[in-house]
Copies of this chain bind each other. A is one copy, B any other.
Amino acid sequence: MKPSESLKKLGIELPTPPSPVGSYVPGIRTGDLILVSGQIPLEDGKLTLTGKVGSDATLAAAQQAARRCVLAGLAIAAEHAGGIDGIEQVVRMGVFVNSAPGFTDQPKVANGASDVLVEIFGDAGRHVRAAVGVNELPLDAAVEVELMVRARA
């Protein structure tokens, strides 16, 4: 099944990619690699989850937020790949979790993003990742996700 068909079946609508503002861009393509800037969980320009995971925010909420981040990243990547079906392979995901002291379930948070990639792309959604805790994130976001994919030649 094509990724675009999986999206429909899953009832997922990718968000509208943001317009570039300032000196950096949402995504860039170099050769067949597409890199995407760190995404925080936004809906209509507002953060959907802030604060420290493990105290202010639950694991379940953080997983949803991570999923939202990576879908935003996919939307950006798709723009540089001629559409979602132009993405051949998800390569790498970096996950930064705004972590309360003692919170060590960063991999479970990251799974919220990893799992939806496999739902959409199947085996081509399996990627490498680094998931770590941090003490602060932009605008107090609960999670930030960056993405690298490979486009079809």
A interface residues, Cβ below 8 angstroms from B: 20, 22-28, 30-33, 35-38, 89, 91-94, 96-97, 99, 101-107, 110-111, 114-115, 117-118, 125-140, 144, 146, 150
Contacts and interface: CB of A to CB of B under 8 A. Distances in A.
Given A26-B128, A30-B150, A128-B146, 6 more contacts: A24-B127, A28-B92, A31-B31, A104-B138, A104-B139, A132-B138
Contact of A23 (B111, B136, B144): B111
5 contacts: A22-B111, A25-B128, A30-B89, A104-B139, A132-B144
Contacts of A97: 136
A133 B128 contact: no
Closest 7 pairs (CB-CB, A-B): A133-B136, A38-B130, A23-B114, A99-B136, A135-B135, A37-B128, A23-B118
Given A102-B136, A129-B24, A132-B96, A33 B30 contact: yes
A109 to B, nearest CB: 10
B126 A23 contact: yes
Nearest to A91: B30
A91 B33 CA distance: 11
